[in-house]
A and B are shown apart, each in its own frame.
Chain A
Amino acid sequence: MSHESEDRILDVRDIYTYFRTEAGVVKALDGVSFDIRYNESVGVVGESGCGKTVTSRSILQILPKNGEVVDGQILYKGVDLLALTPSEMRTVRGKEIALLFQDPLSALNPVMSIREQMIDVIMLHKFLTEEEAEALAVEMMHAVGIPEADKRIFDYPHQYSGGMRQRILIARALALQPSLLIADEPTTALDVTIQAQVLDIIKRMREEHKLSMMLITHNLGVVAENTDRIHVFYGGRVVESGPTREIFKDPHHPYTIALLESIPSFKKGKGRLATIPGSVPQLIDPPKGCRFHPRCAYVTEMCKKRPPAVKIKTDHYVACHHVDRVIKRDINADYDPNLGYAIDNL
């Protein structure tokens, strides 16, 4: 695979991120590997606690104090980020890799004007004078569709709406001309019509700036419309990855299949939704073997013992022992999707 590595901007190889808590070690990421290519938009999909956010924080090394990447490699343009010094890492953050948060309010300092917050970052990374930095900031704000940017730059965060704040963060992130944008649930806190606006801007900016993007979200609709490839996370591991269209049309992992069938959608009628029994695993004491096995319709004894190997089918990776059975939808005879409701996940 080494010959391929040249077209990858980010190559995450087998990383393990653990958190020490009072109740024990939380294995938030347990051998996660995936990649992002140049100019590509990659979706990271999963439910709460699957390790989506921890992945982005591991890449940028902004984990909370009790968390640590204990093993693995994160190659960004061929350089292992885990081997960099803290000061080298600071230049990577922002200038090379930009991060967009879910909550745009907490990412802005409420007592500083937008102008101060924008030009501070720009001057720090781009060695511009204050006037040049301000001109760039206004230009970027204009580009993300903030009306009267030259006047509104003097306003404070609370004077902007949620959608506008997210635009400001996009403008600030892109002013530094990063190569990779990590967007962590960028529209989850926003209303649908504002979400559409923000996603539209991100799409436009991505095309203009030749940006690669890692879009982390639980919203499968957002992923379907905005990404080229998808990595599906479950319980701190990647269970399936492949081109967006293929994942939606021809999913191979039982979890992906169940997830797609469980979302109410326009095409389906009023009938019952498919469900997955039980709930997402606790990562302090995760299920042995394949982490999805307690909820899986295809489970066998093997799944309970061994974590599944990654199988390859041209650009489509599936972590499942029973791909051939899954393709035939050969469900265990005694599988009951309603069984797990009452069962404790503690």
Chain B
Amino acid sequence: MSSSEQIDTKGDGTEMFQQDSEVFPGSPSNAESMEVVLELRNLRKYFPIKTQSILFSKTVGHIKAVDGIDLQLFRGEVLGLVGESGCGKSTLSKMVVGLEKPTTGQVWLGERNVHEETDKKIKLDITRNLQMVFQDPYNSLNPRRMVKDTLMEPLMIHQLEKDDQYGAVLRMLKKVGLEDYHAMRYPHEFSGGQRQRIGLARALIMKPDVIIADEPVSALDVSVQASILNLMQDLQKEMNVSIIFIAHDLSVVKHVSNRVAVMYLGRIVEIGPTDEVFERPAHPYSVSLISAIPFPDPDIEKKKVILTGDVPSPIDLPPGCRFAPRCYKVQPKCHEESPVLKHIRGEIWAACHYPEDEEVIKLHTVKE
């Protein structure tokens, strides 16, 4: 894929991919043998910034929350999505599930276009297959509905398990580690961890293909977080569902995901198998991000790459590489040319002109 096409904002993703029969950016080498359940093609979301005026408002610029994302999700995989606040993780997840309309680009769930499908039946089937687990266990359940109503609702709308919907609810509750009598309770009677289990049950009860988990454990205590992560892993394997796992806690992502994508200011800057990315990151941003994680082991000496400055606002983006103003190895070329996601080594893809060498990066050493 040439860089001119990559920057083309009006570009129609389909055409682009017809012209381009090469490897999908960021795909692992064995991509052919796996089934793609979800594909994002050149996905962008620009929020207009308008002048405040009573009658006529003028668009003076755009917040480029998500700016050209190509991503494939394979069946049965957990893809971690990491990045700092404002990098576009949440906007991306909302576009994927259809809560937010993309400015350009498409989301394909198998053969179906999530945003452009008009047939009501197919649309309903798309929603059944694309579910979400939310961050806040306190706001993601309707406080005035009993657990059984919350869990029964999807079955009723999609007319699933028609002969025994209540039985299906109870079976689902059992799966997430709750008891039958919990069905008759209201959300305020549960602890945060239990509520997150109910949220998980609501997403899984329709047996979806894909689940977007947006910071599902970040509001929980450490000891509770572990049990939710275990549960998610068990159910993921049992139901063979694909998960996009969004989190700012990198150790959690490292624990649950098979592949990981690092986002910076609306773009994926690095993607690859989790262990490889965390051990030998190629993009300087990933390097500093991973080195910044506080390490719960006093015996491990860590090389810290401390960045200067803050994440720039996505309104006035610097030309060239977006990370250039904070990068520790910035070169003149970085300010001129925007790097494209390209294959670096092994299974790692990164968008950088001067990626880190495998030999150079060794972040953790055991203290003597």
Contacts and interface: CB of A to CB of B under 8 A. Distances in A.
Direct chain A–B contact by Cβ atoms under 8 Å: yes
Given A264-B226, A338-B177, A225 B255 contact: no
Contacts of B297: 224, 248, 265, 267
Which size class do B's interface residues fall under?
A: 35 or more
A192 B295 contact: no
Interface string B194-216: 10010000000000000000000
B197 A341 contact: yes
Interface in B256-290: 256, 278, 288-289
A191 interface: yes
A299 to B, nearest CB: 16
A195 to B, nearest CB: 7
Contacts of B233: 270, 272
Contact of B182 (A226, A275, A342): A342
Interface in B220-236: 221-227, 229-230, 233
Contact of B229 (A161, A265, A267, A273): A273
Interface centre among A192, A224, A263, A338 (most CB of B within 10 A): A192
A121 interface: no
B307 A195 contact: no
Given A341-B178, A342-B182, A191 B84 contact: yes
Nearest to A272: B230
A280 interface: yes
B294 A263 contact: no
A192 B197 CA distance: 27
B364 interface: yes
Contacts of B298: 224-225, 244-245, 248-249
A144 interface: no
B254 A266 contact: yes
A266 B364 contact: yes
Given A244-B298, A342-B179, A262 B225 contact: yes
A266 to B, nearest CB: 6
Given A193-B84, A193-B307, A224 B288 contact: no
A39 interface: no
Contact of A275 (B230, B251, B254, B294): B230
A279 B292 contact: no
Given A259-B223, A273-B226, A341-B194, A221 B294 contact: yes
B255 A264 contact: yes
Interface string B89-117: 00000000000000000000000000000
Contact of A341 (B227, B256, B291, B304): B227
B250 interface: yes
A279 B84 contact: no
Nearest to A50: B221
Interface in A229-266: 244-245, 248-249, 258-260, 262-266
Nearest to A218: B222
B294 A191 contact: no
Nearest to B274: A270
A273 B255 contact: yes
A346 B189 contact: yes
A345 B195 CA distance: 13
Residue from the set A219, A225, A266, A274 with the largest chain B CB neighbour count within 10 Å:
A266
A222 B233 CA distance: 26
A65 B108 CA distance: 56
A264 B227 contact: no
Nearest to B179: A342
Given A191-B85, A191-B311, A275 B221 contact: no
A193 B295 CA distance: 14
B191 interface: yes
B193 interface: yes
A222 B223 contact: no
A346 B191 CA distance: 8
Contact of B221 (A47, A200, A223, A341): A47
A10 to B, nearest CB: 23
A220 B84 CA distance: 20
Nearest to B189: A346
Contacts of B197: 341
Nearest to A187: B294
Contact of B293 (A192, A270, A345): A192
A221 B255 contact: no
Given A264-B229, A342-B177, A345-B191, A224 B294 contact: yes
Given A273-B229, A342-B182, A280 B294 contact: no
A315 interface: no
A164 B294 CA distance: 20
A191 B13 CA distance: 33
B248 interface: yes
Contacts of A345: 191
B307 A197 contact: yes
8 contacts: A191-B84, A197-B307, A200-B304, A221-B251, A267-B297, A275-B230, A276-B224, A279-B221
Interface of B: 84-85, 177-179, 182, 189, 191-194, 197, 221-227, 229-230, 233, 248, 250-252, 254-256, 278, 288-289, 291-299, 302, 304, 306-308, 310-311, 364
- Counting from the closest, the 5 A-B pairs by CB-CB distance are A221-B294, A264-B255, A262-B226, A196-B292, A191-B84
Given A191-B311, A225-B302, 20 more contacts: A47-B223, A48-B221, A191-B84, A191-B85, A192-B84, A193-B292, A193-B306, A221-B295, A222-B294, A248-B296, A263-B296, A265-B295, A266-B295, A273-B229, A273-B255, A276-B227, A280-B223, A342-B177, A342-B178, A342-B182
Interface of A: 47-48, 161, 163-164, 191-197, 199-200, 218-226, 244-245, 248-249, 258-260, 262-268, 270, 272-276, 279-280, 338, 341-342, 344-346
